[in-house]
């Protein structure tokens, strides 16, 4: 039995790790961008980002003042768990006071702040059933500078892969510097409208440089990435070679009459952390 207390402590520590330390693949991608950049302003911005990451790691403080909306992905295996939902909520409350996290969660109408980063249907929890002997918890503190630039298109089947590509590039150009580039772009294709956006968000959890197993989709990821980086939007939207660090595409089967396309943009602070409990 995985106790509620264990869930609470795990979730609290995951949020602490996610908000103060970037995954190594993201940091490496930023360092590579610095090596390849030529624009003087872009170099200044990338150096500032990397210095920020270094200070946050050394001082164990959040990388960004926007510590995000708490999103939690759970893979539930064949294990017994005590009060999983409340354990996750309490873990977030603890992280809010201990890290500390900025209290971001408000009522959408009154705008009243709950003060502890929990609320109605928040944390946002995605539960996936799995044939494993463990429980996997992944946290993603999602900042809204990038989240506000997400988009959905209910495309037509006739648009095909070119339609997907055009919509993703259009979305990135429309976002410009608002999501704090260099960005990571998650794309979900298929399912229903809500599933397409969920797939796009989950795509952001994949490692930088990790390509889709489907050859056509992998080629599409590379093609979109190249086109995005030709826009010249650059780091923080002030020009340069690197507008995006990567593009990730996830797919699901869909209705014969539709082509749902979800785009989820992540800023350079692509924060997430995972733990496995047995």
Architecture of domain 145-266: 2-Layer Sandwich (3.30)
- Domain limits, the chain: 4-18+63-142, 145-266
Report residue 27's pLDDT band, with 50, 70 and 90 as the boundaries.
very high
Task: Copy the structure tokens of residue 113.
Answer: 């702040």
Task: Copy the structure tokens of residue 247.
Answer: 């593009």
pLDDT, one tens digit per residue, over 51-72 is 999 999 999 999 999 999 999 9
Give DSSP secondary structure letters for 57-93: HHHT--SSS---EEEEEEEE-S--BSSHHHHHHHHHH
Kindly give the interhelix angle for 40-59 and 24-36, rounded to the nearest 10 degrees: 150
Strands (E), the chain: 69-76, 124-129, 135-142, 151-155, 183-191, 244-254, 259-266, 273-277
**Helix segments in 99-132, DSSP class H:** none
pLDDT, one tens digit per residue, over 190-200 is 999 999 999 99
- Averaged pLDDT, 9-26: 98
CA distance 13 to 200: 26
The whole-model pTM stands at 0.95
């Amino acid at each position: 039995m995985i106790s509620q207390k264990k869930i609470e402590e795990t979730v609290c520590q995951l949020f602490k790790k996610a908000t103060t330390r970037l995954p190594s693949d993201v940091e490496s991608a930023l360092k590579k961008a610095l090596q390849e950049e030529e624009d003087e302003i872009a170099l200044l911005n990338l150096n500032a980002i990397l210095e920020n990451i270094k200070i946050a790691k050394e001082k164990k403080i959040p990388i960004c003042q926007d510590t995000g909306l708490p999103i939690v992905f759970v893979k539930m295996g064949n294990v017994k768990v005590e009060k999983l939902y409340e354990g996750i909520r309490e873990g977030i409350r603890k992280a809010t006071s201990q890290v500390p996290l900025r209290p971001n969660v408000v009522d959408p109408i009154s705008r009243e702040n709950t003060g502890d980063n929990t609320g109605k249907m928040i944390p946002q929890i995605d539960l996936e059933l799995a044939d494993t002997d463990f429980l996997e918890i992944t946290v993603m503190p999602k900042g809204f500078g990038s989240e506000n630039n997400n988009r959905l298109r209910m495309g037509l089947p006739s648009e095909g892969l070119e339609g997907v590509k055009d919509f993703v590039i259009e979305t990135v150009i429309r976002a410009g510097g608002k999501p704090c580039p260099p960005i990571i772009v998650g794309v979900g294709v298929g399912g229903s409208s809500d599933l397409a956006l969920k797939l796009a968000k989950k795509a952001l959890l994949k490692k930088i440089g990790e390509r889709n197993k489907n050859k056509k989709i992998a080629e599409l990821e590379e093609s979109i990435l190249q086109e995005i980086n030709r826009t010249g939007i650059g780091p923080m939207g002030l020009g340069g070679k690197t507008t995006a660090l990567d593009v990730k595409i996830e797919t699901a089967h869909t209705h014969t009459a539709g082509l749902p396309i979800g785009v989820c943009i992540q800023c350079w602070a692509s924060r997430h952390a995972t733990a496995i409990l047995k």
